[in-house]
Chains A and B, each alone.
Chain A
Amino acid sequence: MSDPTTLGIADALRLLADGEISAVELTRAHIERMEAGRALNAFITETPDLALAQAKESDTRRTRGEEGRLDGIPLGIKDLFCTEGVQTSAASAILKGFVPPYESTVTANLKAAGTVMLGKLNLDEFAMGSANVTSHFGPVENPWKRRSDKNAKLVPGGSSGGSAAAVASGLCMGATGTDTGGSIRQPASFCGIVGIKPTYGRCSRFGVVAFASSLDQPGPMARSVEDCALLLGAMAGHDSKDSTSAPMAVPDFTKALGGSVKGLKVGIPTEYRPDGLNAEVAAIWDRGVEWLKEAGAEPVSISLPATRYALPAYYIIAPAECSSNLARYDGVRFGLRVEGATLDDLYRETRAAGFGAEVRRRILIGTYVLSAGYYDAYYNKAQKVRRLIADDFARAFQNVDVILTPTAPSAAFGIGEKSDDPVTMWLNDIFTIPASLAGLPGLSLPAGLNQDGLPLGLQLIGRPFDEETVFRVAAAMEKAADFTAKPDLFAAGGA
């Protein structure tokens, strides 16, 4: 049998069912790989003992015919999901030593499906970043290398950078991510994997460390569209512990795969092709349109005129919600505490020591835009613009079934680049933020390599709760793209 760490989830499930591999064997192979790939810094916490114990239980369940639908599949969990008894850091110093006494609903659902947890994956601090360089535990390295410079260390994207790097290099079969403005899709694009941010409300946010509650949404990251469909099916579902989780049945997303896209109308937004768009990104987008045409779909030019306001609106709304959510880190009940003479001193010193530069910046901006006298000019205005953006999409979806755009304005860049000015870094999410503001499902899939050998992704945006059409179109594009390239680390079978 081939190296188990190169298998897809669907293939592994077949081998497990046929008794050709055990969950323990599959898990052990991934633990070895996780250890070999430590140079990437993808994991904050490795849990090999827990993983092997879970794998043994999985094998027992399977012998008894009691297996769950993903039984024995080793996954990585973004360290933003609370996991009972396993440190959860949000990649921040302020959660130092925090061991949750409860489990997030998404990871509980995955456990119930029989999955094995290999460990907790690195991310930008509190999921705030687009390059995984703001983590208290250091940057994550992208397993892909430039052909022109094999020594340059590239970012995996962010904030789910550990998830993307680990999946791309075979350290785990799939991973959870979370996406507030592009944190699943952009790293998926940078690392040549598939990731979907489902419709807001599809997955429960209970137990996910909050960043911007009206935008945060968990989703899966894996090496194929099918694997993402399998994972999302297990992660999603209504949860009474999250009042924004949708009381809707979860379809079998895998049934949408392989369906014809003939006659489907695919919106191509003119506003996503600004002057100066990277030529290779534009070319791969054109190629994506051609693939869909060849499969019988019909491209339709659409206009989303409020797009130019998406980034500024996001950078008011997200910091505002962040400043409110992160008020809970006060040094009193969990995490870091720096003693002070007064309670206020304790708060101030704890938060000064515990938050990194980007998080501090966003808390301050959020505090400012919510402060008396500025609320209407900033926050209220941004909320109005948010509706304009959502209305644009609603109007477009009267005429099209799905929208195709680039995922990110560039391929992966070097660690340390774009770090001088926060706004330059934020521009990474220019194509993913609008769908976040509108709460729509967005999937990124690898479409090809640029001249320098780095993956470029394309994004499919769907109607609310119509992940099925997104998956159907993604599967057709995946077939046409035939993206078989692998990062050096994956191909070499070791770090």
Chain B
Amino acid sequence: MSLDRTTVRAIANLARIAVPDEDLDHLAGELSNILTFVEDLSSADTDGIEPMSSVAAMSLPMRDDVVTDGGYADKVLANAPGGATEGFFTVPKVVE
């Protein structure tokens, strides 16, 4: 499996990471090597095998649907880059 510049740019866009054009070829090479490395998997016989998403042999625990946490907006906002504004995180304008 080999990735080209266009594919790497598309993946980087999906991942929301700006990648300078001059990095694209190098990254395409690295990512292609990794995909070649993992290609060995295709030779594993997995017919009839269920995918394993968790090793924990248990069902998710249930609890009462009640509020158990919260009431400290200041703590939540304390790490906002550049500081919070009137109790809000701020971002560039998204609605014209």
Write the residues of chain A forming the contact surface with B, with a CB cutoff of 8 angstroms.
97-99, 101-102, 200-201, 214, 240, 243-244, 246-247, 306, 308-309, 311-313, 315-316, 323, 327, 330-337, 339-349, 351-352, 355, 360-361, 363-365, 367-368, 371, 378, 380-388, 390, 421-423, 437-439, 464
Contacts and interface: CB of A to CB of B under 8 A. Distances in A.
B49 A335 contact: no
B17 A352 contact: yes
Most buried by B among A346, A349, A380, A383: A383
Given A243-B61, A312-B38, A352 B89 contact: no
Nearest to B36: A423
Given A364-B17, A386-B52, A423-B33, A381 B11 contact: no
A360 B91 contact: no
A315 B38 contact: yes
A38 to B, nearest CB: 28
B96 to A, nearest CB: 11
The list of the 5 closest CB pairs from A to B, nearest first, reads A439-B55, A383-B51, A337-B81, A334-B79, A384-B46
Given A315-B34, A316-B41, A332-B91, A347 B56 contact: no
A331 B80 CA distance: 9
Most buried by B among A340, A347, A367: A367
B85 to A, nearest CB: 12
Nearest to B94: A343
Contacts of A240: 61, 63
A361 B30 contact: yes
B55 A214 contact: yes
18 contacts: A240-B63, A243-B60, A315-B38, A327-B16, A330-B16, A333-B79, A333-B89, A342-B94, A346-B91, A352-B19, A361-B34, A363-B17, A371-B14, A386-B51, A387-B52, A422-B33, A464-B55, A464-B57
Given A343-B91, A348-B16, A384-B51, A308 B80 contact: no
A364 B56 contact: no
A316 B38 contact: yes
A361 B46 CA distance: 28
Contacts of A344: 16
A363 B7 CA distance: 14
B31 A364 contact: yes
B50 interface: yes
Q: Is the interface of B mostly helix, strand, loop or mixed?
A: loop
Nearest to B80: A333
B92 A346 contact: yes
Contacts of A423: 33-34, 37
Contact of B40 (A97, A308, A327): A308
Contact of A101 (B16, B46, B58, B75): B75
A201 B56 CA distance: 7
Contacts of A340: 92
A14 B95 CA distance: 65
A316 B39 CA distance: 10
Nearest to B14: A367
A312 B37 CA distance: 7
Interface string B7-36: 110011111111100000001001101110
Contact of A390 (B8, B44, B55): B55
Contact of B12 (A330, A364, A380): A364
